[in-house]
Structure formats: C-alpha cells, structure tokens
Amino acid sequence: MPNIAVLGTQWGDEGKGKIVDFLAEKADIVARFQGGANAGHTVVFGKEQFILHLLPSGALHPGKVCVIGNGVVVDLEQLFREVEELKVRGYDLTGRLFISGRANLVLPYHKMIDRLSDSGKGDEALGTTFRGIGPAYVDKVNRLGVRVSDIFEREALEARLNLTLVFKEDFADRSEDKKAFDRDYLLNSLLSYGDRLAPLVCDTSFLLLEAIEQDKNILFEGAQGALLDVDFGTYPYTTSSNTSVGGIFTGLGIPPAALHETIGIAKAYNTRVGNGPFPTEETGETGDRLRERGNEFGATTQRPRRCGWLDLVALKYTARINGVNKLALTKLDVLDEFAEIKVCTSYRINGAEMKNFPDELRHWESCEPIYQTLPGWQSPTSGLTSWGKLPQNARDYISFIEKFVGVPVNLVSTGVSRREIVRRS
C-alpha cells in the first residue's frame, strides 16, 4: 500500500473517520498532523460506535501504530480520557501510541479564552467548538506555548507558565473559572501526567522517517476540511490550522515525496457546523430532510449541522489545491429518497457568473449558487458494496461529479459501518 493522505474536502464531517478506519486495515501507521480535539471522527463496526477526537482512527485496529504529530494541539485530559475509554472497550494502545514532544498543549486557559473570544465577536462569532484550538495555535505561533516535552522539566515548565500567563491577565480577570489561569494548579496538574505521558513521547518525525525508509505504509489522517483551512478556507470562518495537504509535512516533519496518494473525502451533499459562508445551504424542508436522513448532528458539539446540496465549484477547488487524485464519496444513501438532486456548478456574484471559488469574504455576501438538476434514483443504496448494484441514476450522479472535478471516485460509502462501502479499482 502507498502512503495515503485522507483529507476532508468540505467543511469537515465528510466521513474521514470511517474511511481512515476502512483503509487502516492495510496500513502500519495512522498519523494525525493538525487540529486537536475539535475533530470528531466516527467509526462504526458491528454494533459498536466510537467517536475519536484526538486519537487517530487507526486506534481501533489492534496492532496499528498511532502517531500524534507536532502539528496537533494536544489536550492531555481529553487524550487520556480517550485512551482509557478505548481500553475499557478492549482496545489497548500500550506500546503503539506515540506523541510528538514538539506538539503544543491545549491548556484549560485556552478553552476559556476560546469561549470568551468567540462570544466577544458578537455577530461575527465563528461558533467554534470551544476546544481551545485557536488560542493554542496563537500561543504556538507567538512562541508562548507549552509543549509536550516541557512537562518533564519542572523548572522549565514553571518558567513557561509564568511567562505565558502574564499575557493572559485580561482574560483571567474576565473568566469565571479562575483555576484555568492559576499557575500552581496548572503546574501540578501538568506534572501529574508525567508518568503516563513519558512512554508515549518521542520524536515522531524521526519515527516516521525511519518507517518511510523501511517501506512501512502510512495513512495521514486529516481533521476538519479544506474549506476550514486557515489560509484556503472561508477565512475568517475557518479553524486555525492548515487542514489541507501542506499541513502534513509541517505537522509531521516528513518530506512531500513520502506522500504517494491523496484521497479527498466528500459527502454526496454539503454540511457545515458553525457560522460562515455556505452558498448551497438549504434552510427549509430540503435541509431538514438531509439533516434527518444523514443524522447531521455534530460528533463533538452535538450541534445540528447546516445542510445543502453538493457544491462542485468548492469541491473542484479543494481537490486542486490538495492534489487529490482519488475521491471517496460518502453518505450516498442519504440521497436515496430524493426525486431530484441539485449540484452547484457555478456561482452568481454581483450579477456575474463565476466558475472559480472566491478568495475574498466580501464576494460571499452576494454569492448565489447556479445549479444543475439531476434525476434521483429513489431506491435504497444503503449497505450496497458493488458498483454494478448501484442504481443507474446513482452511478450517473457519481460520473457527473468525476467529470466535473476531473478526479475519479474510487470509494463510495453507503452506510455508517466499516463494510458498507463500494470499492472501484
């Protein structure tokens, strides 16, 4: 198996967890390279459902190595909660979970600052996950972060906390949770993780470079989606990391040549959680139907997801910037009952037709989708596993997407479970 990136091509929640879990069977290592516990990746098999926030979705395959790279912002409380939960359910990560010592930590004050900052933006609030992601990356880039490796040196850690807390006094004053900004509380709670954390921490770049030299198979698991990328997404309504392909190299410390294939994950329609532009959003009955059929409620925050038709302009854009050479189309079954299915093939912006994805927020204000309407198939595809069994109109829908985007759809997901997938090769 080549080394494969699995990347979201929309606004997250495309079904990356399911696809990574499916592909992990043939991989040796699954690595997360950006984001943090803002992710919610669902994996279902048999009667079991798992929602992973920080652990790579390879965790559910016994024996697979899981890596959390330097580009991830790590919330230790959440990390050990997940490790423990999996252990109770029969998945032991001992000896196969590795975390970069260079990764920055998400600390309690980051979560408080996230809340206070986003609420403070009024109408321009993003609707973040409140997982402290933005503020943790701010500290990282401002060189005020606390890194995983810092917690093994009491004095250095104390000095780091003293410094960074000086810059947070304003937030500390406004916060109801004073403990989140209390130096001694933070110091002691961080030190208490030391024994559990020590066996997991290493130079994960070195680990991966060695694995690459030994021709091991690596899956790079993206979190969020390209339209939430801090550079290429619908800024400022984005997350704070590079969710697209470049994030792999900076977030893991490996060279671009180590990546052989990039699978873009796209839902058969679009969803978005939180605020920001969404040209194909359906706020009426169609949106409600998609939400109900697709069970579109956030895996991390349980918020109802905004739903709408597939935006092919956006998909073509994200496929191109990521060098996507295969698409995995998920949740095809959600469209089973629709008599007609729309796809957005261009936008109307300030009266003019636009075929490219705009790079400025102001364009979104007057952006209207221009649709093509395709016939639905109105027969169940749930659980189907062979291309030939998909209804002709479903195959035509997929072919339309392939042609428009210029990338083959190699995997078609037809249900939540690991086995409910059509593989075309």
Q: Tell me if 220 sits within 8 A of 265, measured CB to CB.
A: no
**Which one of 67-75, 131-139, 177-185, 316-324 is the stretch in contact with ligand IMO (CB under 6 A)?**
131-139
Cis amide leading into 279 (omega within 30): no
* Residue 13 designated active-site: yes
Nearer to Mg ion, 149 or 224 (CB): 224
Closest CA to 23 of 263, 363, 197: 263
Per rule CB under 6 A, is residue 64 in the interface with ligand IMO? no
Contact of residue 38 among ligand GDP, Mg ion, ligand IMO, none (CB under 5-8 Å per partner type): ligand IMO
Q: How far is the CA of 183 from the CAs of 161, 331, 343, in angstroms?
A: 6, 47, 53
Per rule CB under 6 A, is residue 58 in the interface with ligand GDP? no
For residue 226, the minimal CB distance to ligand IMO (Å) is 11
Per rule CB under 6 A, is residue 8 in the interface with ligand IMO? yes
Six-digit token string for 14 = 């495309």
Closest CA to 51 of 24, 85, 19: 85
Nearer to ligand IMO, 272 or 342 (CB): 272
Amino acid identity for residue 41 in this structure: H
Per rule CB under 6 A, is residue 131 in the interface with ligand IMO? yes
For residue 365, the minimal CB distance to ligand GDP (Å) is 28
The footprint of ligand IMO on this chain (CB under 6 A) covers a number of residues equal to: 24
For residue 222, the minimal CB distance to ligand IMO (Å) is 7
Q: Tell me if 377 sits within 8 A of 315, measured CB to CB.
A: no
Single out the catalytic residue among 13, 28, 114, 118: 13
Residues in the site for ligand GDP, rule: CB under 6 A? 8, 12-18, 40-42, 44, 295, 299, 330-331, 333-334, 413-416
In the complex, which residues of this chain contact ligand IMO (CB under 6 A)?
Answer: 8, 11-13, 38-41, 126-129, 131, 133-134, 223-225, 228, 239-240, 273-274, 299
Catalytic residue set: 13, 41
